[in-house]
Amino acid sequence: MTPDFPPRHGGIQVLLHRLVLHTEFASRVVTLTSPGAKEFDAEQSFDLRRVDWVPRSRKASFLRLNAAAVREARRFRPDAVLSGHIVTAPAAWAIRTTLGPRAVQYLYADEVRAAPRLCRFALRDASAVVVVSRHADALARRFGTERRRIHRIPPGVDLPADPPPAQRAERRTLLTVARLDDEYKGHDVILRALPLIKRDVPDVRWVVLGDGALLPRLKRQAAEEGLDGAACFLGGVSDAERDHWYRTAHVFVMPSRLPVRGGGEGFGIVYLEAGARGLPVVAGNVGGALDAVVDGETGVLIDPTNPTAVAAAAVDLLRSPERAARMGRNGAARAQRFAWPIIARQVENVILETLDA
């Protein structure tokens, strides 16, 4: 059960879809509608039930999703329920108390900031809690979740099936892949760092993939900084175009920071995606990035609030191609341990353990 599922873009969407694909259970997914859902659903090997959004009301949409999930559970009679987001925790509780299956709850990080009371409820009643990083683990324990119920399992990554050799662009390129809805991702910090980077690497360009509410503001900021030719906002792109930029860029940069009220980056699948394709990473030294990036080995961890630190790390990698290539190779080797079949098996084992408890 989840509000977040493809064809909508995002890390949670990818995670939950890949889990269903790579576990051995007979599964039914209950989720919200999204553009292109009909075509997407027709290609899947598992059952999906879509719930229409309530216009202009996320809360009413989530209530409708929970109600639909309970109805589907009465038909499907599941052995276990996986709540992919805390907003479906009420349905997990209702299904568990009326039908008896065990409930497993996912926790990422930023939902703690957005809905702390609902988070407390979700964690209190789950048979098991899957957290995606040490950061998420600490947040779960802050809400009083017992150590025995917490299972730390990172997200996985889609490994290139037969990756073509990287052909780095002649123009040195920084890349960021993220939805432009969350300020903590650090796009604003990169924009402040870019003039500093240009002093040492005059031809540098920053390619930004992703769309969202922050796009107009970021474009204005780029224009005010005189970065129209250096900051390239390409919006949402296809997977093929995204992979093209992974192959041709030189450094992946996303200095996610911790919001004032906590939460932030639970892990950051894009760090693994970049590494799997041989890109070194510049990331914040906080939150889930501490698990996703190995400092000095697959990338560089820096103060994500400091544009000077971001610039120094980016310049060093752009001007040290051998070091950048070594980190890229390390990232590609490490990504093998995060292949989705491996990660899905770990989640599958947690669910089976709850059934045996």
Q: Mean of the pLDDT values across residues 266-282? A: 95
Determine the pLDDT at residue 164: 63
- In the structure, what pLDDT confidence band is assigned to residue 262 with cuts at 50, 70 and 90? confident
Q: pLDDT category, 114, cuts 50, 70, 90? A: confident
**Three-point CA angle 210, 152, 147, nearest 5°:** 135
Mean pLDDT along residues 260-274: 89
20-74 pLDDT, tens digit each: 999 999 999 999 999 999 999 999 999 999 999 999 999 999 999 999 999 999 9
pLDDT at position 333 = 96
Q: At residue 166, does pLDDT exceed 90?
A: no
Average pLDDT, stretch 151-169? 87
Runs of H (alpha helix) within 187-299? 187-200, 215-224, 239-248, 269-276, 289-292
Q: Which residues pair with 32 in a beta bridge?
A: 51
pTM of the predicted model, to two decimals? 0.93
Task: Specify the pLDDT at position 261.
Answer: 72
Q: pLDDT-based confidence at 225, cuts 50/70/90?
A: confident
Give the pLDDT mean for 339-345.
97
- How would residue 163 be classed by pLDDT, with cut points 50, 70 and 90? low
pLDDT at 165 over 80: no
